[in-house]
Amino acid sequence: TRPVEETVTLLTDEQVRPIRENIDFGIRFFGASGIESGTDWTLEDLDEAFARWQRASDRLGYSDEFIIEVLGAMFGEYCAVQLNMRWIKLKDQGGTTLAVEGIEREFRAFPYQAIVKRIEDSEHGFFHNVFVFIKHQSQEARSRASMA
């Protein structure tokens, strides 16, 4: 497979701030879902809240877009903190998206797209498994220092 031409832009702290602010909305969404974990939320909380939202006949009053933005921010930030990653904007022939990539190692994750796919497939219980896969990628990825 030929490499895809892409442009990667590191997000500044100012650009990441609204992403991190969405975590507060996520914590409130958890409360509306009956999950009272506060700021000590886990991947299991993400999975349970998403499943409750999917199963609710009225989607608990939250739109797909809200869920994608808020839980995507939470999952991306969780990966960034746990796996030494940073937020980026990625542009290629398919469009532009936000993602997280390893700081010291060459690997990426697409938290928003992970949620879009599961909404489309009516799937839940994936956050933990996707995280385990990304963590494995982080361990197998080559060092950015070796690319210099």
Q: Yes or no: say if 79 and 131 are a contact pair by the CB < 8 Å rule.
A: yes
pTM for this prediction: 0.94
pLDDT, tens digit only, all 148 positions of the chain: 778 899 999 999 999 999 999 999 999 999 999 999 999 999 999 999 999 999 999 999 999 999 999 999 999 999 999 999 999 999 999 999 999 999 999 999 999 999 999 999 999 999 999 999 999 999 999 999 866 5
For the chain, how long is the longest CA-to-CA vector?
52
* Distance separating alpha carbons of residues 62 and 101, to the nearest angstrom: 29
Q: How far is CA 47 from CA 53, 60, 126, in A?
A: 10, 15, 7
Structure tokens belonging to residue 93: 């022939």
